Amino acid sequence: MEEVTKTYKFKVVEVDEDVYLAANLARNGKLPVHISEVTKDEDLLADVRKGVVDEQGVLLQGTCSEMKIKSNLKKFIFHTSPAAMASLYKTAAAVCLVALYGLQSEAAEEAAKTYKFKVVEVDEGVYLAANLARNGKLPVHISEVTKDEDLIAGVRKGVVDEQGTILQGPCNEMKIKSGLEAFHHTFDYQDGPNFRELLQAALDAGLAVFKEKGYPKTDDEWQQIWANDTSAVLAHLLGSNSTKIGCVIGKCVEVTTQPPSDDQERREGSGGGEGNKTEVETDKAALFCHLSPAATRNKAPFEEKGYPKTDDEWQQIWANDTSAVLAHLLGSNSTKIGCVIGKCVEVTTQPPSDDQERREGSGGGEGNKTEVETDKAALFCQLSPAATKDKAPFDEDYFNGLIARTTALADMTKEDLKSAAGGGAATVALPTVLIAGLVAILTRTTALADMTKEDLKSAAGGGAATVALPTVLIAGLVAILTAISA
């Protein structure tokens, strides 16, 4: 008697939009450096769907209960659990219900909604916060900015006159026009906004474009990353040049083929045919995503970020809204600033009544409008002289101090704006080599007065240095270090 044979295959299960949001969150959510956003692509979707079906004999290795996916597969793969699958289906069902409701209500004329800004004036806290963001607890200072009424009037007028262009989307999904030539940061409005926290969030997001740690430096290091399936899967997902994505779920199905019966063998010859097949879906599944353009194996999937060295690199910084916003705020030549808050207001326009149409003609007028303020708002600041687009807004010494700063703006006070001399903001940057030397001195815990000649010996155990520091030089160094660390 022949044994029962079992084979395994994938049943394709379509995914909802949550997977594309999740993919972008995996690529960029709360990261210090952002790469490109990926968008759903129907061609890639068809390709990965076809690949899961056509190549499942190669892709799916082992039984469903011990499911393994072929090594070095050029797709992002994510194994999910029954709970995750259930959540996915619930999301899809909710989307369908919303769509059904929309179809049912389509016949009725809907109320039109538009959105605008109500200007809310800011207090002095925003200007202190702006200066703290620029100079607070930094080893190198740029110029301080001061409140300017003309700039306030200009930015206020711009928010009102150009709000139809600046404000994009409904208030609960508020977006600010890309490429806006002003510093801006969106937030949830409350009376008495904490401007330091708002600017801190803008700083964190903007500096994220510059920062990257633990970055592989050589081709060999990248080959090691790609040789590991776990990190290679991540590299496929995080390719910085990718702009499109398509995903499906491969859910593992157990196929049982019964040996042919005696009657089947007699009817179909000695081969006996394939016998009867039964299929049982399991709770094992894989998510497949194609990204295009794909990351190149053994090469860096994303780029190391640092201080831009060329005009082209600065153009890339300015082309990124997040870092461009920071450049607007931190222009080293700026001396004046004006800020207002634009608070999002939902405007609902009802269709004109029959009486209105009779009174005002076939146009029917605009109908009745109601306005509801929301808690969504944007902070707009204009600085003068403004930073020049596509050019460096600050020098590398300032940048090095900026990324090294760890104190949050909320933990700073006006005292943190004091320069090394205790007066206004310093305008001359210290050379990098001098900063490095001073940092080394500042991190040394032993006071010079507590050292002896023995402390001059080299690390290799050589003889003592022959030149001693005069007392006046020691006093001078102490004074300098005290002023710098104040």
CATH code: domain of residue 126: 3.40.33
CA distances, 206 to each of 10, 31, 212, 239, 447 (Å): 43, 11, 13, 21, 38
Q: Is position 45 within any domain?
A: yes
pLDDT in tens, 77-134: 444 444 444 444 334 333 333 333 333 333 334 557 688 888 788 888 888 887 787 7
Give yes or no for a contact between 314 and 390, defined as CB atoms under 8 angstroms apart.
yes
131 and 103, same structural domain? no
Percent of the chain's residues with pLDDT above 70: 48
Task: Evaluate whether residue 434 is within a structural domain.
Answer: no
323 and 411 share one domain:
yes
Whether 393 and 450 share a structural domain: no
pLDDT value for 448: 34
Residue 405 — very low, low, confident or very high, per pLDDT cuts 50/70/90?
confident
Same domain, 263 and 118: no
Q: Which domain holds residue 65?
A: 5-107+218-292
Examine the domain organization and report whether 124 and 196 are in the same domain. Answer: yes
Span of 267-271, 272-276, 422-426 with lowest mean pLDDT: 422-426
Between 45 and 467, the more confident residue is 45
Residue 435 lies in a domain: no
- Digit-coded pLDDT (tens) for 36-73: 667 777 777 777 767 766 776 666 666 676 666 655 44
Angle (CA) 36-39-45 rounded to 5° is 130
Compute the distance between CA of residue 213 and CA of residue 304 in angstroms, rounded to an integer: 9
In which band, very low, low, confident or very high, does the pLDDT at 298 lie, cut at 50, 70 and 90? confident
Instruction: Cite the DSSP H helix spans in 238-365.
Output: 262-268, 311-319, 321-329, 354-360
**Same domain as 319, residue 195:** yes
Does some domain include residue 281? yes
pLDDT in tens, 13-37: 777 777 677 666 666 666 544 556 6
pLDDT surpasses 50 at 276: yes
pLDDT in tens, 130-159: 778 777 887 667 778 788 887 788 778 887
- Best CA proximity match to 11, nearest among 45, 56, 41: 56
Same domain, residue pair 181 and 153:
yes
The alpha helices in 353-421, defined as continuous H runs, are 354-360, 396-404
Q: Which of 240, 259, 292 is the last residue of a domain?
A: 292
Q: What is the largest CA-CA distance in the chain?
A: 112
With cut-offs at 50, 70 and 90, classify the pLDDT of residue 475: very low
User: Is 306 a domain residue?
Assistant: no
Query: Do strands 183-188 and 244-257 pair parallel, antiparallel, or not at all (unpaired)?
Result: unpaired
Mind listing the pLDDT tens digit for each residue in 196-210? Answer: 898 787 777 766 644
246 in the same domain as 170: no
Tell me, yes or no, whether 140 and 266 share the same domain: no
- Whole-model pTM: value is 0.37
Same domain, 141 and 98: no
Query: Do residues 132 and 409 lie in contact, with contact meaning Cβ atoms separated by under 8 Å?
Result: yes
